A and B are shown apart, each in its own frame.
Chain A
Amino acid sequence: MDLSFFIMQFLSGLTMATLLFLVASGLTLIFGVGKVFNFAHGSFYMIGAYLAYQAVSVWHANFWISVLIAALGAGVFGMFAEATFLRRIYGRAEEGGFQILLTYSFILVIDDLVKLIWGTEYKSLPRPLGFGGAVNIGGLTIPAYNLAIIAIGLVIVILAWLILSRTRSGRVARAAALDREMLGSLGINVPLTMTLVFGIATAMGGFAGALAAPLRSVSPGAGIEVIIDSLIVVVIGGMGNFWGAWLGALILGEVNAFAVSTVPDWASLFNYLVMVLTLIFKPEGLFASREIRKV
C-alpha cells in the first residue's frame, strides 16, 4: 500500500467517521443525560434529510440555510415527541422495555409520515454551490464536500466540548446524567431540561441527515441503515459518552476503510468484530470513567 493510497483511504474513513459521529453523538447524548435509548434516532436523521430536500428543491433555499432548517425541524419534532409521549413513561418499572417499544413505534409512524408527504420515490440533493468538485492536494483527488464534512465535524466536536465543560447549561446536562432527582431538588426544571436535551440530540440527528443528503439517497427507511452503525459506535465508545462516540466513530470509519482495501471479502465483519472485542475486554466502552465502571 503506497502512501498516497493510504492517505486516500484514511480520508475516506474520516468522512464516514464524521457522519457517523454526528448521528451517534445525538444518540449517546440522549442516553447519557436521559437514560433513554432512542431507537428512532435514525428517523430524525431521515427527517433532517427530507427537510433539507424540501428546503433546497422546493423552496429553493440556500443549502447551508437548509441544513439549519433541517436541524431545527428535527429538533422541534424531537421535543414534541419527548414531551408528548416519552415523558409519560419515565420512572415506570418497565421503562426500559417501553422505551424500545415506544421509540420503535416512532420509526414506523415517521416512515409513514414521510411517505405520505414526500412519496416513495428516491430523492436526491445536489452538492452545495462550490462543493461539487474535488480538491487536488499533492496529487490526491479529494472531494471538496467530503473535506467540508470533516471540517464541520471537528467544529462540532470543539463546540460541544466548550458547551459541556464551560457553560452552565453544559454543567446542568452533565449533572442530569449523574442524578436527576438531586438536580430537581436544586430547583432545576428537570422535565424542561430533558425536553431540551432531547431536542438538541434529535437536531443533531437532523443536522447529520441534511449534511449526508447530497452524498446519499433520501428515501423512506433511510433511518434504519444508520442506526445500526451508530449503535456500534455508541457501544464501542461507552453508552452515554460524548467523547466515546467520537473515538468509536473514528475507529469504525478507519477499520472499515482499511478492511475494504485489504480484505474486501470480510470487510463488513470487521465492524462487528471491533464491537465484540470491546464488549469482551471493556464492556463499559472505551471511554467509560472509573466511577461508571464501579457502578
Chain B
Amino acid sequence: MLKRKYFLWFIPALVLCLVLPFSASGQEKVIKIGGLYPMTGRAGLYGLDSVDAAEMAIEEINGKGGVNGYKLEFTNTDSKAKPDYSVMVAKRYVTQDKVHFLFGVVSSAVGLAVTEVSKQNKKIFIGTDHASTQLTTDKLQPYYFRVSNNTFQSMAAGALYLKELQKTKPWKTIAYIGPDYAYGHDQWDELKFNLTRFGVEFKAVGEYWPKLFAPDYTAFITSIINDKPDILVAGFWGGDTVAFIKQAQPYDLFKKILYFHPDAGGNYELMAAMGTDLPEGLVLSARHHNNWPETELNRDYVNKFFKRTGRYPTYAAEGAYAGIYAIAEAVNKVGNPDDTDALLKAFEGMKIKLPEDPDDFTSYIDPKSHQIVQVQAIGVTERNDKFPPAKLMLGQWKVYKAEDLLPPPDYIEQLKKK
C-alpha cells in the first residue's frame, strides 16, 4: 500500500520534471536555426568545422545577451551530403521544428535542392559554404542569401592574377583538371569567360575530368605533362587536391608547370594534411585564410576557433560563422525573427564586418543577386610553421577588389538561357 502511495506521487513528479524545462524555455524568446551540414564521409570535416564555428558565433552572441531579447538556437542534422535526404530534413525543420532559418550546406547539389524547399515554404535559407554560381544567378529565389564567395568570384580573381602574371612571366598555354560534375565544369567555364573578358590571350591545350573522389590520378598527370601547358588550373576540393599533388610530385610536374588553384586549393586542410610534403611555389586561394588579412578580427576568430577545437579552421568554418552573425544582424534590425518580408529587406544590402575582410573593406550582400561581395586574396605556398601541423602557408598575397569579381549581367543572361 505504501509502495502504491509513493508510486502515485511519482507519476506527477515525473511529468513535472519532463514538462518544466520546456515551459521554461518556452517563455524564452528563441531564434531557431536548422543546420544541414554533413558530418560523415569526405565532406565531414567541412561539416564539423562549420558546426563548431556556428556554435562559437552563437555562444559569443548569446553571451552578450542575445539579439533584441532573443537567444540564438542552432541544431544540426547530418545531411549526409545527399540532396534527397537533405530535402526531407529541411521540410522537417520547416513543418515540425518551426525553424526561422535554414542554414548550411557544403555540397552545391544539396544547396540547389534545399533552395527549392526554401522557396516553396518562404523560409529564408542562408548559404554558407557551397559555391555554385547558379544559386545566386539563374537559380536565385527571393529567400536565398549566400555569405561566402561563389566560384565565379574565385575565377574572376584567378583570371586577374593570370593577366598580371603574363606581364612578368609570359605564358600562353593552359590546361585544366577538375572533378567531373557541375562544380568542376563551372570553374573552367568561368575562368575561360573571365580570361576573355579581361582581354587575356591564351590557348587551352588540355581538359581533364576525373571522377569526384577518384583515388588515382597517375594517367592524368602523365597526360598533362605530355600536353606541356605553361599553367595547370585545378578545380579539386578536399582530399582530391591532396591525392593529386602527392601523385604529381615525383613526376616534377610542379617544376615544369605552374600549378594554379584559385577556388579551394588554398584551404587550410591541404596545408595541414601535407606538412613539409607540400611543394613551395603553388598559387592557391580559398574563401578564407587563417593568416590573411592580418587584422585583429581575423586573428581573434582563428585563435578562438583553435582554443575551442584544438585545430585551425578550414574555410568552411568562416562561412558558418559569417552566416550566424548575418542572421543576428538582420534580426537586430527587424526586431524579431518572424517578419520574413522585413528580414529579406534587412539582408539585402546588409553590411557586415567579417574575419576575412581587410581593414579597408566591409563585406556586403548584393541586393540583386543576394550574394555576399568580398575581396579575394591569392597567395603562393611558402614556409610558415605558425599554424601547425601545417609547415607551409600562403604568402606573397595579391588582393582583388570585390566589385571586379561579380558576374556581369550578360553572363547571368547566358546562364538563364542555358
**A residues neighboring B (CB under 8 Å):** 5, 8-9, 12-13, 15-16, 19, 108, 111-112, 115, 119-124, 126-127, 132-134, 141, 143-146, 212, 214-217, 219-222, 224-226, 229, 256-257, 260-261, 264-265, 267-268
Nearest CB of chain B from residue A135's CB, rounded to whole Å = 9
**Residue in chain B with minimal CB distance to A7:** B222
* Alpha-carbon distance A257/B221, docked complex (angstroms): 10
Find chain B residues with CB under 8 A from A127 CB.
250
Nearest CB of chain A from residue B185's CB, rounded to whole Å = 11
Q: Is B251 within 8 A of A5, CB to CB?
A: no
The 9 A-B residue pairs whose C-beta atoms are closest, nearest first, are A217-B239, A143-B250, A221-B41, A217-B242, A257-B219, A122-B273, A120-B45, A12-B218, A12-B219
The proximity string for B residues 243-282 relative to A, scoring 1 for CB distances below 8 Å and 0 otherwise, is: 1001100111000000000000000010011110100000
Q: Is B242 within 8 A of A221, CB to CB?
A: no
The reply on B121 being an interface residue by CB < 8 A is: no
- Provide a sorted-by-A list of 24 A–B residue pairs whose CB atoms are within 8 angstroms: A9-B219, A12-B218, A12-B221, A12-B222, A16-B216, A19-B215, A111-B41, A120-B48, A124-B246, A127-B250, A134-B250, A134-B251, A134-B252, A212-B215, A216-B247, A217-B242, A219-B44, A221-B213, A225-B213, A225-B215, A226-B215, A257-B222, A267-B209, A268-B211
* Alpha-carbon distance A256/B311, docked complex (angstroms): 38
Q: Is B243 within 8 A of A217, CB to CB?
A: yes
Q: Is B251 within 8 A of A143, CB to CB?
A: yes
* Alpha-carbon distance A22/B208, docked complex (angstroms): 26
Find chain A residues with CB under 8 A from B293 CB.
none
Q: Is B222 within 8 A of A9, CB to CB?
A: yes
**B residues neighboring A (CB under 8 Å):** 40-42, 44-45, 48, 180, 206-211, 213-216, 218-223, 226, 238-240, 242-243, 246-247, 250-252, 269, 272-275, 277, 311
* Alpha-carbon distance A144/B242, docked complex (angstroms): 19
Find chain A residues with CB under 8 A from B220 CB.
260
Q: Is B44 within 8 A of A221, CB to CB?
A: yes
Nearest CB of chain A from residue B305's CB, rounded to whole Å = 14
Q: Is B40 within 8 A of A221, CB to CB?
A: yes
* Alpha-carbon distance A145/B273, docked complex (angstroms): 20
Find chain A residues with CB under 8 A from B275 CB.
124
**Residue in chain B with minimal CB distance to A115:** B44
Q: Is B226 within 8 A of A121, CB to CB?
A: no
Find chain A residues with CB under 8 A from B222 CB.
5, 8-9, 12, 257, 261
Q: Is A145 within 8 A of B219, CB to CB?
A: no
Q: Is A9 within 8 A of B223, CB to CB?
A: yes
**Residue in chain B with minimal CB distance to A20:** B216
Find chain B residues with CB under 8 A from A124 CB.
242, 246, 273-275, 277
Tell me which of B207, B221, B243 has the highest count of chain A C-beta atoms within 10 A of its own C-beta.
Answer: B243
Find chain B residues with CB under 8 A from A134 CB.
250-252
* Alpha-carbon distance A226/B42, docked complex (angstroms): 13
Nearest CB of chain B from residue A245's CB, rounded to whole Å = 17
Q: Is B207 within 8 A of A215, CB to CB?
A: no
* Alpha-carbon distance A264/B226, docked complex (angstroms): 13
**Residue in chain B with minimal CB distance to A127:** B250
* Alpha-carbon distance A236/B102, docked complex (angstroms): 46
Q: Is B216 within 8 A of A122, CB to CB?
A: no
A145 touching B250 in the complex, CB below 8 Å, given contacts A9-B219, A115-B40, A225-B215: yes
**Residue in chain A with minimal CB distance to B218:** A12
Find chain A residues with CB under 8 A from B216 CB.
15-16, 19, 215-216
Q: Is B242 within 8 A of A261, CB to CB?
A: no
Partner of B215, one of A141, A146, A216: A216
Tell me which of A122, A217, A220, A267 has the highest count of chain B C-beta atoms within 10 A of its own C-beta.
Answer: A217
Q: Is B41 within 8 A of A216, CB to CB?
A: no
* Alpha-carbon distance A226/B48, docked complex (angstroms): 24
Q: Is A13 within 8 A of B44, CB to CB?
A: no
